[in-house]
């Protein structure tokens, strides 16, 4: 068996650094996965809010149209009443 030319103290330090680096990468990958999940949840919620906003805008437009129709109807009634007096 060939004898290592790297002293044990250096080899042990390198192994410890490699182990620490592996742990950092594992933490980074876990954090990345969590951020991806949170981002997808955020995208889904934004899409839901877009749909809700579209519905509310359609409801408001329908309500505004009805108010305008009723104002016109009221104006025509008042016009007929004043013409009849």
* pLDDT, tens digit (0-9, with 9 covering 90-100), for 59-84: 999 999 999 999 999 999 999 888 87
**Could you tell me which residue, 40 or 12, shows the higher pLDDT?**
40
| Global model pTM greater than 0.85 | no
Determine the distance from the C-alpha atom of residue 71 to the mean position of all C-alpha atoms in its chain, rounded to a whole number.
41
Q: Are 27 and 34 in contact (CB under 8 A)?
A: no
Structure tokens that stand for 4 in this block: 């290592």
What phi, psi does 19 have (nearest 5°)? -60, -45
**Is residue 12 very low, low, confident or very high in pLDDT (cuts 50, 70, 90)?**
confident
8 pLDDT above the threshold of 70: no
Q: Are 11 and 4 in contact (CB under 8 A)?
A: yes
């Amino acid at each position: 068996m060939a004898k290592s030319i790297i002293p044990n103290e250096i080899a042990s330090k390198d192994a410890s650094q490699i182990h620490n680096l592996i742990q950092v990468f594992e933490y980074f990958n876990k954090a990345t996965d969590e951020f991806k999940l949170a981002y997808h949840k955020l995208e889904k919620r934004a899409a839901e809010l877009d749909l809700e906003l579209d519905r509310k805008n359609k409801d408001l437009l329908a309500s505004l149209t009805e108010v305008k129709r009723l104002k016109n109807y009221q104006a025509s009634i008042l016009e007929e009443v004043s013409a009849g007096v």
